[in-house]
Amino acid sequence: MDAIINAVTDRAFQVALLVSLAAIGTVYTVLEPFLIKDKLKERMKSVGSYREGLRQEQREMLARKGSPKLRTNSQGMLKELVENLKLLEVFDADSAKKKLMMAGHRAQRALFVFMAARIGLPFFVAILVAIYVYFLGGFELDSFGKLLATFAGFFVGFYLPSIYISNAVSKRQQAIQLAWPDALDLLLICVESGMSIEGALQKVGEEVGSNCPELAEELGLTTAELSYLQERKQAYSNLAERTGLDTVKGVVTALIQSEKYGTPLGSSLRVMATESRELRMQEAEKKAAALPPKLTVPMIGFFLPVLFAVIIGPAIMQVMGLE
């Protein structure tokens, strides 16, 4: 054990490890373009699985004369652990499921994995921190400081799953927000050409799939739900709930009104496409306007000292008689 600790804390070993990681990262960066999978194909495969699930659910509901489907399939040990500890009640399963859907994880297993991670990851991170501070001597801390570091690792591990899901939701929403105005323009063209809303959504999903697989996936799911759900309104509402974007909610409201009252959809889509495009431009202008304040601190911390050294350096050297 002492030999392992000495080897891990050895500076030469640490430098060699960092060099090895840098070499591995370089090789991975070079080979990454050849290892990238077709994300659109994978997402469309998940859409097909979701469609088959809806079809099977509809068949079972009809066979049971409208009775709700009872899920009897087992998710294994992970499900038993979550249910025995009652994590679905402790961590608000409905809110967690909604966030997972917005992040693109719709399978029931994703909820169990997330709940298990929230209860298991804190202990895992705390154990790693404890090993580092107590046995490897990573920080020169007293006993109380090491205990605080261990508790800090516990709290960090507790919030890591939520932070990961929040980041995934934010990235997914940004991707959908950027592609949404173009998708609305395409949807408007398809609707005004006489296509049904199902065909229009499917066509738009195919067209935007190369640029935004996330939006193509959501449109494909909406098309599947329109085919198999009893209420078409629920399919539109699910689209708004999965994305969590105000611009999508506005279009969903127009679609529901068009289905219910027979109002023309083309004019509403044209107005909302213009608003979405203007909103995207406003977001870009907002980011551009926020850039100068963000550059203030780097300029003060990095540019000004160098500038002062270049300007005042020769005068200081003359005064000190170094020239």
Asked if 78 and 113 touch (Cβ cutoff 8 Å), the reply is: yes
Q: What angle do CA 145, 150, 154 make, to 5 degrees?
A: 145
Q: How far apart are CA 45 and CA 39, in angstroms?
A: 10
What pLDDT sits at residue 66? 45
94 pLDDT band, cuts 50/70/90, is confident
Q: Which residues contact 58 (CB under 8 A, 6 or more apart)?
A: 228
Whole-angstrom CA distances from 262 to 227, 245, 304 are 19, 25, 64
Instruction: Kindly report the number of other CB atoms within 10 A of residue 265's CB atom.
Output: 20
What pLDDT sits at residue 72? 38
Instruction: Kindly report the number of other CB atoms within 10 A of residue 75's CB atom.
Output: 17
What pLDDT sits at residue 18? 81
Q: How far apart are CA 151 and CA 39, in angstroms?
A: 39
What pLDDT sits at residue 144? 83
Asked if 190 and 206 touch (Cβ cutoff 8 Å), the reply is: no
Q: Which residues contact 259 (CB under 8 A, 6 or more apart)?
A: 232, 233, 236
Q: How many CA atoms lie within 13 A of 83 on its CB side?
A: 8
Query: 70 pLDDT exceeds 60?
Result: no
pLDDT tens-place string over residues 121-135: 888 988 998 888 887
What Rg do the C-alpha atoms of the chain give, in angstroms? 28
Q: Which residues contact 181 (CB under 8 A, 6 or more apart)?
A: 273, 276, 277, 280
More confident residue, 5 or 261: 261
pLDDT tens-place string over residues 277-296: 888 888 888 888 888 888 88
Q: Taking residues 53-61, report their average pLDDT.
A: 59
What pLDDT sits at residue 276? 83
Coil, strand or helix: which one is 196? coil
167 pLDDT band, cuts 50/70/90, is very high
Q: Which residues contact 242 (CB under 8 A, 6 or more apart)?
A: 101, 102, 218, 221
Asked whether the CA dihedral 201, 247, 230, 266 is positive or negative, the reply is negative
More confident residue, 14 or 113: 113
Mean pLDDT across the chain? 79
Q: Taking residues 190-196, report their average pLDDT.
A: 87
What pLDDT sits at residue 169? 92
Q: Which candidate, 234, 277, 272, places its Cα nearest to that of 250?
A: 272
Q: Which candidate, 109, 41, 51, 284, places its Cα nearest to that of 181?
A: 284
Quote the tokens at residue 148.
Answer: 């605080």
Report the percentage of the chain scoring pLDDT > 90.
Answer: 3
What pLDDT sits at residue 289? 87
Asked if 224 and 51 touch (Cβ cutoff 8 Å), the reply is: yes
Buried b (16+ CB within 10 A) or exposed e, 43-71: bbeebeebbeebeeeeeeeeeeeeeeeee
What pLDDT sits at residue 170? 92
Q: How far apart are CA 20 and CA 28, in angstroms?
A: 12
Task: Give the H/E segment covering residue 92.
Answer: none
